Amino acid sequence: MALSEKETLAPPQHIAIIMDGNGRWAKQRGLPRTAGHAAGAESFRRIANYCRTLGVRYLTVYAFSTENWKRSQEEVAGIMKLLRKYLEEALRDMEKNRVCFRFFGDLSRLSPPLQKLCLDAQSRSADYDVQVNFCLNYGGRDEIVQAARRFAQQVANGERRPEELTENLFDQYLYSAGIPDPELVIRPSGEKRISNFLLWQSAYSEYVFMNVLWPDFTPEHLDEAIAEYHRRNRRFGGT
Ligand code: FPP
């Protein structure tokens, strides 16, 4: 049966975004980098709301990478503070917003209060429909190494055999276990790199690179990225 135009143009069910360009946005305005991250957090709120309006089921954002610890103490503290503030608000408004949270990354290096907020947000929102995955102290290679280590440990314990390992089984050891791979990965800010983001999960994703800094990213930019995704799918997709 042929798909109707509406079904053909349904948004991707999973969109992933590298929220890049906060520092440059601040520099252009003579502001400290933390002001750029604060504007980036506002942009995230706007886009997460818009994703919900569109019916996007999963939104995964790169909020803090394993490499981001190399930044100044002030900048790292600024980003952590924004995350804390956001999660406190999210916990307060949970019933109203009905967003489910997951965290990809090694949370053990975060401050204990932030870890607790992450765990509370995750456990209290488990049943909601729209899901935001925050990549926090996340690296794609690190995720794969941690997954391999856990599987190897189970083999050593006699719980698994090496020949049982398939791509599908390996998926279950990743932070993203149970979540479909993103169909679309967006990187604003003009950079054209993957930067260790969702290396395993984006094997078949469409990448859209855009010349807009993340704090300036609007719902119209998301529409544009989704339109580009549909154009490519129509040209190269199967029947
Ligand atoms: C990359 O831009 C962005 C980050 C390393 C941090 C992203 C964090 C946020 C948007 C705030 C997190 C909080 C919430 C609530 C989502 P950059 O600093 O590398 O920019 P540049 O390349 O222009 O310097």
pLDDT tens for 22-66 read: 999 999 999 999 999 999 999 999 999 999 999 999 999 999 999
Domain locations along the chain: 10-139+181-230
**Alpha carbons 183 and 36: distance in angstroms, whole number:** 28
Q: What percent of the chain has pLDDT over 90?
A: 87
Cβ–Cβ under 8 Å, residues 78 and 33 = yes
Nearest CA owner, ligand 1 atom 5: 64
Catalytic residue among 68, 97, 120, 171: 68
pLDDT above 70: residue 237: no
pLDDT of residue 79: 98
Q: Is 34 in the pocket of ligand 1 (CB under 6 A)?
A: no
For the stretch 178-195, pLDDT in tens is 999 999 999 999 999 999
Q: Which two tokens stand for residue 111?
A: 């401050």
pLDDT of residue 151: 98
pLDDT above 60: residue 91: yes
The strands making up 184-187's β-sheet, listed across from edge to edge, are 99-104, 130-138, 58-65, 14-18, 184-187, 206-209
What is the model's pTM?
0.94
CATH architecture of 10-139+181-230: 3-Layer(aba) Sandwich (3.40)
For the stretch 108-153, pLDDT in tens is 999 999 999 999 999 988 778 789 999 999 999 999 999 999 999 9
pLDDT of residue 83: 98
Q: What is the mean pLDDT of the chain?
A: 93
Angle between helices 33-54 and 219-236 (to 10 degrees): 60
Q: Burial letters for 74-93: b for 16+ Cβ neighbours within 10 Å, e otherwise?
A: ebeebbbebbbebbeebeee
Q: Which two tokens stand for residue 150?
A: 């856990």
Cβ–Cβ under 8 Å, residues 215 and 39 = yes
pLDDT above 50: residue 1: no
- When comparing pLDDT for 83 and 2, which is higher? 83
Q: Is 19 in the pocket of ligand 1 (CB under 6 A)?
A: yes
Q: Mark residue 176 as left, alpha or beta (left: phi above 0; alpha: psi -120 to 50; beta: remaining).
A: alpha
Cβ count near 129 (within 10 Å):
10
Cα of 33 from ligand 1 centre, angstroms: 9
